[in-house]
Structure 1
Amino acid sequence: MSPVSRKQPPTRRSAPVPDTARRSERSRRAIYAAALSLVAEVGYPRTTVEGIAARAGVGKQTIYRWWSSKAEVLLEAFLDLGEQAAEEAGERPFVFPDTGDLAADLRFVLRATVDELLDPRFEPPARALAAEGVVNERLGRTFVAKLLEPQLQLYVARLRAARETGDVRADLDPRIALELFVAPLAQRWLQRTGPLSHDYADTLVDYALYGLVPR
């Protein structure tokens, strides 16, 4: 037998297996970015699943595989935006400050809320989701549960602590009391009835804590 005949046939190297997880994550990120940018550019009513898909470079069926509507896409993209911004800034999960000075703590949080509401990255999607949540009950419940309620519970905890230390009335209902700060701020932002500023936030704290009668 000749040396040639003893050679083994060359082994065929198998093709690498595609990393579907990496590809899916890349597509998901592209969809998030497309949804957020379109809402900022053309507004929520003119944003479509087809438009998001085209900008993200994916098929429409890819979006419908993960979400049932553009509202769900935008909500998830908005929640992810907040997480990404906090991670880039090296921030820990937000904790309501308790310095022993309730007024100062409330002013700090409301000022930070004003800054976030006016942030051009957050304002267009937040405004779109807030408006859509009024007419889309399912989205509204999810928006409240995943975004608003965790933040409101921070107010509740701080006001309960103030009640225990005697800084507010003993019969105070924290859930109702927090609306004195949060509701006017949200209304002014949503309806654009006046400018949002740190001075406005400070005035809300002053009026809510000390009332309207002369001191």
Structure 2
Amino acid sequence: MCKIASSIDRWLEANDIISKFSNRYSESIFEFKRLIEMSLIELFIENEANLHTFEIKLDTYRNKYCDNILESILQNPNFINNTRNLKTSLFGSNTPTKNRISQIINSHQNLKKMLLGYMSYDIFSLYQSLLLSKESNCSNTLNTIIFYYIDFKGIISFAKVFENLNVLESVHIIYCFSLNSFTQQIINLTKPFKLKSLFINGKLQIDSLQSLLQSLLQKSGNYLENFGFGKYQIS
């Protein structure tokens, strides 16, 4: 959905269509984009296309015309049955949208890769039933999780999540917040914690950074391959 929307925007710009409207953020443009996007989704569904990667990127701007698209996807589960990679970035989604996304998330049983971006506790909770379910096949298929700009504060289920994932091969933490909360939860894991990438913003004090790194490295052992602090990166 993210790339579809971006492609529509580029097409509108290339054909000088947006300039014909007095306000590029008018309801007419919202509706026009929604119509194009909905038509494309319906075309894919009618031709029995299968998604390999499903990326949802929502904010207040896109919430206005995305619910119908999500509902159409839910009514045609075969469209996303074979999805292996799920990427979501959610900013301020309303309750109906969250409910639809939660249903879509829980319909994925064979995910191999999951990217979770820009979310806090209330959004992350949408994923817990999938990641913690003993009935979900994700526990035996999911091998990569990427956390991107997530605030870990208030999320207390990480230990259970990682214990439930049987084939997890790599964890990537990219510029997330409240890392101490996350670290305290994974220290006592009985399974190896395969942290492959750790990128930290430059706002941490040196003493806090040293303690955090010591705890994470003790737990992840020699798995770490990529590290970055602020603008500095080491691979």
Output the TM-score relative to the length of structure 1.
0.27
**Which one has a larger percent strand, Structure 1 or Structure 2?**
2
**Which one has a larger percent helix, Structure 1 or Structure 2?**
1
Output the TM-score relative to the length of structure 2.
0.25
